[in-house]
């Protein structure tokens, strides 16, 4: 009995380790193209008109208000700028984690 249990335990441990390594990997942020429509420095928010953001489950273009992870980025862009940004869905709502003027 002990001889048959060792391979089963080894396989279970290997499978658990493999699943744990893949499940713990964070989702890749995807860059989204957009245009700055409004900036609210006091609230730390930016309104962006953008194309699909599939990593956030947004399949259609839309205009949305986002929080910003670092309010300093709001000083780097102005209304009307074409931008490329990355965002994530956080507990407080959708949050821009990176933004730069489009090239």
Tell me the domains of the chain and their CATH numbers.
32-101 (2.40.50.320)
Q: Beta strand 93-101 with 62-68: parallel, antiparallel or unpaired?
A: parallel
pLDDT tens digit at each of 103 positions of the chain:
556 667 666 766 666 655 554 444 445 567 999 999 999 999 999 999 999 999 888 999 999 999 999 999 999 999 999 999 999 998 889 999 999 999 8
CA separation for the pair 67, 9 (Å, rounded): 47
CA-CA distances (angstroms) from residue 41 to 44, 70, 99?
5, 11, 15
């Amino acid at each position: 009995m002990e001889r048959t249990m060792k391979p089963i335990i080894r396989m279970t441990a290997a499978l658990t380790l493999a699943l744990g390594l893949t499940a713990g990997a964070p989702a890749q942020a995807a860059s989204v193209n957009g245009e700055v429509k409004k900036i609210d420095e006091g609230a730390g928010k930016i309104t962006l008109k953008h194309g699909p953001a599939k990593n956030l489950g947004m399949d259609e273009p839309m205009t949305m208000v986002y929080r910003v992870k670092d309010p300093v980025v709001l000083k780097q862009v102005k209304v009307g700028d074409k931008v490329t940004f990355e965002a994530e869905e956080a507990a407080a709502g959708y949050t821009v984690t990176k933004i730069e003027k489009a090239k």
